[in-house]
């Protein structure tokens, strides 16, 4: 018999000691995330079958119509995170404000906060295209024994103790880091077990994929336009290949495996970009750096940005280090664009 594949549960236990501050809580927290991911996966896979599809009609704080599955995923993650005696508060892209876990639920004595985009790219569900869950975990800065505060959530990405995403794709994967590299686990849906399928994930060198919504070209900053021209030039290993799913987790995941850059810049339509610093960019940036890549807002590292509000947006350039650095060079030709 060949060697047996390692499961996520085994992996978490083996690497328990690498978690900063943790006395086993982070392992339990990851265990609860893998359970929530399975529930969401099950529901996402049924999306074409049941009448859960389509807009639920509610508008979220950013004025976007929420899809029913967004709400479902949000509820699952909220519920599972509340009930584990680990988390003192949760902030979600789908909630207007952060959620305090009450003293009754033991929340005041818990050490961690979780920030999540429970179902990113949900406009893709109706058309059977991959979506994802993104999560980010911090140690609280406020004192144990008190309710969670906004400051616990407004920490720089550098302070993350773990981050990851689930991709509901042709197969379902959970990819995460605790600051000791990036590992990817694939779900065997028949058994409900996650197996270590992608150990120590790293961006390959010599990436050739660029991912950007080029329909917005006319609204892009000049540095981005110049970089796109560079991507399309005939020279060395260029022109690059353009690939854009419109689902951050999927675009990022492919680029990490094949080598590439994802860009969601500022534009005259979205002067601060579209993606959210806390729920989307920081966790993806942490994974990118841990996989040897880089993530910037065009000028500075995403994880060095001091957050000022929960739903803050930032321009986002993430992927293979040398590609992001090349884009950064072009951005630096227009230093005024750093003041977005
Ligand atoms: P969402 O959080 O409302 O789903 O928006 C985020 C998504 C990303 O997954 C994706 O990369 C981007 O929005 C696509 O935006 P656009 O359609 O403007 O290209
Ligand atoms: Mg999102």
pLDDT in tens, the chain (340 residues): 457 899 999 999 888 887 766 678 888 899 999 999 999 999 888 876 655 445 555 666 666 655 588 899 999 999 999 888 899 999 999 999 999 999 888 899 999 999 999 999 988 888 889 999 999 999 999 999 999 999 999 999 999 999 999 999 999 999 999 999 999 999 999 999 999 999 999 999 999 999 999 999 999 999 999 999 999 999 999 999 999 999 999 999 999 999 999 999 999 989 999 999 999 999 999 999 999 999 999 999 999 999 999 999 999 999 999 999 999 999 999 999 999 9
Q: What's the gap in Å between 245 CA and the centre of ligand 1?
A: 9
Residue ranges, comma separated, of all CATH 3.30.540.10 domains in the chain are: 8-198
From residue 285, alpha-carbon distances to 135, 189, 227, 277 in Å are 12, 29, 20, 10
| CA–CA dist 27, 13 (Å, integer) | 7
Q: What is the pLDDT of residue 67?
A: 58
pTM over 0.75: yes
Element (H, E) at 330: helix 321-331
Residue ranges, comma separated, of all CATH 3.40.190.80 domains in the chain are: 209-338
213 CB less than 6 Å from ligand 1? yes
Q: What is the pLDDT of residue 233?
A: 98
| Under 8 Å between Cβ of 147 and 136 | no
CATH for 209-338, among 3.20.20.10, 3.40.50.720, 3.40.190.80, 3.30.1540.20? Answer: 3.40.190.80
- Backbone torsions φ then ψ of 35, nearest 5 degrees: -70, -45
247 CB less than 6 Å from ligand 1? yes
| CA–CA dist 51, 171 (Å, integer) | 23
Element (H, E) at 250: helix 248-258
Q: What's the gap in Å between 327 CA and the centre of ligand 2?
A: 23
| Under 8 Å between Cβ of 118 and 73 | yes
Identify which of 210, 246, 263 has the alpha carbon closest to the alpha carbon of residue 120. Answer: 246
Q: What is the pLDDT of residue 122?
A: 84
Q: What residues flank ion ligand 2 with Cβ within 5 A?
A: 117, 120
Q: What is the pLDDT of residue 340?
A: 94
| Under 8 Å between Cβ of 273 and 266 | yes
* DSSP structure class, residue 66: E
Q: What's the gap in Å between 117 CA and the centre of ligand 2?
A: 6
Q: What is the CATH number of domain 8-198?
A: 3.30.540.10
């Amino acid at each position: 018999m060949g060697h047996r594949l390692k499961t996520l549960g085994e992996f978490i236990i083996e690497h328990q000691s690498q978690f900063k501050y943790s006395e086993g809580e982070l392992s339990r927290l990851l265990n609860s995330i893998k359970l929530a991911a399975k529930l969401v996966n099950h529901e996402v896979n049924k999306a074409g079958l049941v009448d859960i599809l389509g807009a639920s009609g509610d508008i979220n704080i950013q004025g976007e119509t929420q899809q029913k599955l967004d709400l479902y995923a949000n509820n699952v993650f909220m519920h599972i995170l509340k009930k584990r005696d680990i988390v003192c508060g949760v902030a979600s892209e789908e909630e207007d404000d952060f959620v305090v876990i009450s003293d009754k639920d033991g929340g005041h004595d818990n050490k961690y906060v979780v920030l999540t985009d429970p179902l990113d790219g949900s406009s893709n569900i109706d058309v059977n295209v991959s979506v994802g869950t993104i999560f980010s975990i911090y140690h609280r800065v406020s004192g144990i024994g008190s309710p969670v505060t906004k400051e616990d959530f407004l920490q720089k990405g550098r302070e993350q103790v773990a981050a990851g995403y689930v991709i509901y794709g042709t197969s379902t994967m959970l990819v995460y880091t605790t600051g000791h590299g990036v590992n990817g686990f694939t779900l065997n849906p028949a058994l409900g077990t996650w197996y270590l399928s992608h150990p120590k994930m790293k961006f390959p060198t010599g990436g050739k994929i660029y991912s950007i919504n080029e329909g917005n070209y006319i609204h892009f900053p000049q540095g981005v336009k110049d970089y796109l021209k560079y991507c399309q030039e005939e020279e060395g290993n260029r022109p690059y290949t353009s690939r854009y799913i419109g689902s951050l987790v999927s675009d990022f995941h492919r680029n990490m495996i094949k080598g590439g850059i994802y860009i969601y810049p500022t534009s005259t339509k979205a002067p601060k970009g579209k993606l959210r610093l806390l729920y989307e960019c920081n966790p993806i940036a942490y994974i990118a750096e841990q996989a040897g890549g880089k993530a910037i807002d065009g000028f500075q590292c995403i994880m060095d940005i001091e957050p000022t509000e929960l739903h803050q947006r930032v321009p986002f350039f993430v992927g293979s280090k040398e590609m992001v650095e090349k884009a950064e060079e072009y951005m630096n030709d227009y230093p005024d664009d750093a003041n977005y």
